[in-house]
Amino acid sequence: MTIRTRIFLVYLLLIGGGYVYLFTSILGAIRPRYLESMEATLIDTAAYLAAVADTHVRDDDTIDVEPLRRAFDAAVARPLDAQIYTFHKTAVDLRVYLTDAAGIVLYDSDDGHEVGRDYSRWNDVLLTLRGRYGARATRLDPEDESSLVIHVAAPIRRGERIVGVLSLGKPTANINALVAAVRTKVIVAGLLGGGLVIATGLAFSLWITTPVEKLTAYARAVRDGRPASLPKRFAGREVGELRRAFDEMRAALEGKAHVERYTQALAHEIKAPLAAIRGAAELLAEDASMPAPQRARFLQNLLTESARIQTIVERLLQLAAVEARRGLVDPAPIALRPLLEERLASLEPMLRARNISAALDAPEDATVVGERFLLDQAIGNLLQNALEFTPAGGSITLALRAASDGAVITVDDTGPGLPDYAVSRLFERFYSLPRPDSGAKSSGLGLSFVREVAHLHGGEIRLENHPAGGARATLTLANTPVV
């Protein structure tokens, strides 16, 4: 399990669990709160109606229900047309009944169905006759929660004596409709909020783990020797400190590895020319009477091998300087076609000497941002390679193609192409193929230099065999869009 998944799960457990608890608590509290509000209203209404009924108590403590019947029946018969939020109310659903001091029903607004019945055992009547708050909730259908009716009672008094009970019954069907509408809104809001909680959790886990993933990728690039830039933005001081530690570690490791690598490479490459120089020098010293032609040949060997050492050292220093860079220095827009034209022009004498034709295919306005000197050196190396592997009478084609994210430069030759065994080693330092015409090898540092320049410009270098014969070098420059 990744750390991102763990952070997300812990977040959901803590924040999501609290959210679910709060959401379910709100859903569960909607109906009770509505019922409480309805009961409070019924209490007020019952108190008012009971006070009216008090005015109809006779001297013998009996209740004159006839005036009350006419008033209540008239209220029930009144036309009603009311739109209350999500439901339409067209009839009075409030039930009123009165009992005497013994709990016998004297009046029932429901067409008098319960008149004469003994309600003294119902809590609303029983508790009210005892001077307490009387109420009850009864289901008309025991199996149907929506059939619940709430009854609230108030005492009818003559002086201090309770001579009867006025009870109001209110079905909860309308409340159920309101509760259902509110539940729907709450559920929709809850789902949206839940989605926001999950999205926030994902964003939070990404915010925490992305710097670690970037640093991991950076460390692997360092391990593999691939070009990599240290991520710039991090969340938190601690991660920023870790970033700086990675940077310092890379600098230390690269410095040490750089010295070791180049020391070993230089020692290996100059061993052969030094041995040749030493052998020639010993022969010249031992044989003073050596014939002039032989002496001239050994002296030429000394000059050739010393020049070879100088070339290796210069190329190695040039490559080391490029590899040690972290980025471009003072990059500026570069018009690529003039650069390519100048490079081809510099090779004109060698092209003429070997009867090799060169063609340029490049748009006029292709431009990239970079370092002109480095690009000039890299393109020069590619053209020099193509020239050395192209037989007399062959041709070289230099092409430029503008891309949406940079530019692509290709160098095609009509030489023998690349042997399969060498394709995977072409960019190794000091690895070189023998030239077809002389069998000589180069320093083997040119393509390594080109690769470093390509990386500094956000691109890559690729060598492959051309389908029509010969080799093709493809240099991409993608660090900045083409202007």
Eight-class DSSP state of 482: -
Interatomic CA distance for residues 112 and 2, integer angstroms:
73
pLDDT mean over 453-467 = 87
Interatomic CA distance for residues 60 and 42, integer angstroms:
29
Interatomic CA distance for residues 140 and 151, integer angstroms:
12
More confident residue, 361 or 251: 361
Q: What are phi and psi of 315, to 5 degrees?
A: -65, -40
Does 49 score more than 60 pLDDT?
yes
Return the pLDDT at 378.
Answer: 86
Interatomic CA distance for residues 468 and 466, integer angstroms:
5
Separation in Å, CA 483 to CA 327, 338, 379: 20, 15, 20
Interatomic CA distance for residues 133 and 125, integer angstroms:
9
Give me the residue label for tokens 């859903």.
27
pLDDT mean over 411-416 = 90
pLDDT mean over 440-467 = 81
The whole-chain average pLDDT of the chain stands at 80
Interatomic CA distance for residues 38 and 150, integer angstroms:
9
What pLDDT band is residue 227 in, cutting at 50, 70 and 90? low
Tell me the per-residue pLDDT of 101-136, one tens digit each, with 9 for 90 and over: 999 999 998 888 899 999 999 999 999 999 999 999
Q: Do domains 9-180 and 332-477 have the same CATH topology?
A: no
What single-letter amino acid sits at 145? E
pLDDT mean over 395-415 = 87
End-to-end CA distance of the chain: 45
Contacts of 156 (CB under 8 A, 6+ apart): 50, 53, 54, 57, 63, 98, 162, 163, 164, 165, 166
More confident residue, 425 or 412: 412
Interatomic CA distance for residues 64 and 58, integer angstroms:
7
Does residue 181 contact residue 80 with C-beta atoms inside 8 Å?
A: no
More confident residue, 203 or 278: 203
9-180: which CATH topology? Beta-Lactamase (3.30.450)
- pLDDT-above-90 percentage for the chain: 19
Tell me the per-residue pLDDT of 61-102, one tens digit each, with 9 for 90 and over: 899 999 988 888 888 888 888 877 667 777 788 899 999 999
More confident residue, 103 or 198: 103
Classify domain 332-477 by CATH number.
Answer: 3.30.565.10
Does 250 score more than 80 pLDDT?
no
- pLDDT-above-70 percentage for the chain: 77
Tell me the per-residue pLDDT of 166-175, one tens digit each, with 9 for 90 and over: 999 998 877 7
- Point out the least confidently predicted range of 223-237, 310-324, 351-365, 457-471: 223-237
More confident residue, 127 or 430: 127
Top mean pLDDT of 161-170, 200-209, 257-266 is at 161-170
Return the pLDDT at 92.
Answer: 83
What single-letter amino acid sits at 229? S
Tell me the per-residue pLDDT of 315-363, one tens digit each, with 9 for 90 and over: 666 666 666 666 677 788 888 899 899 888 888 888 888 898 989 988 8
Eight-class DSSP state of 61: S
Tell me the per-residue pLDDT of 276-318, one tens digit each, with 9 for 90 and over: 677 667 666 666 667 777 777 767 777 776 776 676 666 666 6
More confident residue, 155 or 445: 155
Tokens of 382: 């590619």
Does 460 score more than 60 pLDDT?
yes
Does 457 score more than 80 pLDDT?
yes
- Point out the least confidently predicted range of 28-32, 307-311, 365-369: 307-311
- Provide the β-strand partners of residue 134: 153
What pLDDT band is residue 371 in, cutting at 50, 70 and 90? confident
Does residue 58 contact residue 64 with C-beta atoms inside 8 Å?
A: yes
Return the pLDDT at 481.
Answer: 36
Q: Domain residue spans in the chain?
A: 9-180, 271-323, 332-477
Does 427 score more than 60 pLDDT?
yes
Return the pLDDT at 57.
Answer: 92
pLDDT mean over 390-414 = 88
Return the pLDDT at 195.
Answer: 85
CA nearest 415: which of 381, 387, 438, 380? 387
More confident residue, 30 or 384: 384
Return the pLDDT at 163.
Answer: 94
Does 266 score more than 70 pLDDT?
no
pLDDT mean over 458-465 = 88
Pairing of strands 332-335, 148-158: unpaired
